Amino acid sequence: MKREEALQRIKPHLTEHRYAHTLGVLESALLLAERYGADQKKAELAAIFHDYAKFRNKEEMRALVQERLSDKSILDYGDELLHAPCGAYYVAQEVGITDEEILNAIRYHTTGRPGMSLLEKIIFLADYIEPGRVFKGVEEVREIAQKDLDRAIVAALANTVTFLLKRGQLVYPKTIDTYNHLIAEAKKA
C-alpha cells in the first residue's frame, strides 16, 4: 500500500489533532528506521496505522478483546490501552495488512513488551517522541534516541511509569516487564 493511500484510509478515523500526531509519528518513525536500519516501508505503514482504533467505541473494543483477542488482561488497565491491540486486529481485518511485524508494532505501541522487534521499538518510540509531543522529559528522550534506541525506550518507560504512579493509576504489567527486560539486556552488554 502506498503512503498516500494509507493516509487516505486513516484520515476518516482520526481527529485533525490526531492526524497531525500520526504525521509526526510517521516522520519520527522514518528517521529512526533510517538511523537504526529498519525496513522503511514497514515503519511507514505501522506509523500511519498505529492509532487506527484510537476513536473506536470503547464498548466495541472491550467486546473485541473478550471475544477475539488472546490477552484479556488489558481490560483491567483502562480503556486508553485498548486501541493498540484492537487496532492491530482492525488493520488486519479492514485494511488487509497481515504482516505480523507491522501488526505487532501497532499492537504494542502503547505498552511495549519484552523482546520487541526493531520495528516495534521504532513505532513505540516514534509515538512517544514525535515533534508534536510537549511534556516533561520528552526532549531528553529525543536526545537519547539519536544515540541509543533501547536507552531511549527505557527513559520513555520510566517517564510513563512515574507519570502513572504519581496519579495513582494502574501500570500494565507488560510495561514493567519491558522496562525490566531492557535493563537486564543492557547489563549483559
CATH assignment at residue 95: 1.10.3210.10
CA 53 vs CA 57, 61, 81: distances in Å? 9, 9, 11
- Please check whether residue 8 lies inside any domain of the structure: yes
- Please check whether residue 23 lies inside any domain of the structure: yes
- Please check whether residue 173 lies inside any domain of the structure: no
Mean pLDDT, range 19-26, rounded to an integer? 98
Query: What is the total count of domains within the chain?
Result: 1
Rounded mean pLDDT of the chain?
Answer: 97
Mean pLDDT, range 9-29, rounded to an integer? 98
Q: Please enumerate in sequence order all residues whose Cβ is within 8 A of that of 172, keeping only pairs 6 or more positions apart, or say none.
A: 74, 77, 81, 111
Grid coordinates in use for 6?
494509507
pLDDT for the residue 42: 98
Asked if residue 107 has pLDDT above 90, the reply is yes
Mean pLDDT, range 67-73, rounded to an integer? 93
Domain carrying residue 108: 3-133
- Please check whether residue 26 lies inside any domain of the structure: yes
- Please check whether residue 104 lies inside any domain of the structure: yes
Residue 79: pLDDT band with limits 50, 70, 90: very high
Grid coordinates in use for 158?
520510566
pLDDT for the residue 57: 97
Asked if residue 139 has pLDDT above 90, the reply is yes
CA 61 vs CA 6, 57, 64, 169, 177: distances in Å? 22, 6, 5, 21, 24
Asked if residue 89 has pLDDT above 90, the reply is yes
pLDDT for the residue 16: 98
Residue 189: pLDDT band with limits 50, 70, 90: confident
- Please check whether residue 186 lies inside any domain of the structure: no
Mean pLDDT, range 144-171, rounded to an integer? 97
Mean pLDDT, range 97-104, rounded to an integer? 98
Residue 176: pLDDT band with limits 50, 70, 90: very high
- Please check whether residue 159 lies inside any domain of the structure: no
> Cell numbers 511507514 correspond to what residue?
44
Q: How many residues does the chain have?
A: 189
- Please check whether residue 19 lies inside any domain of the structure: yes
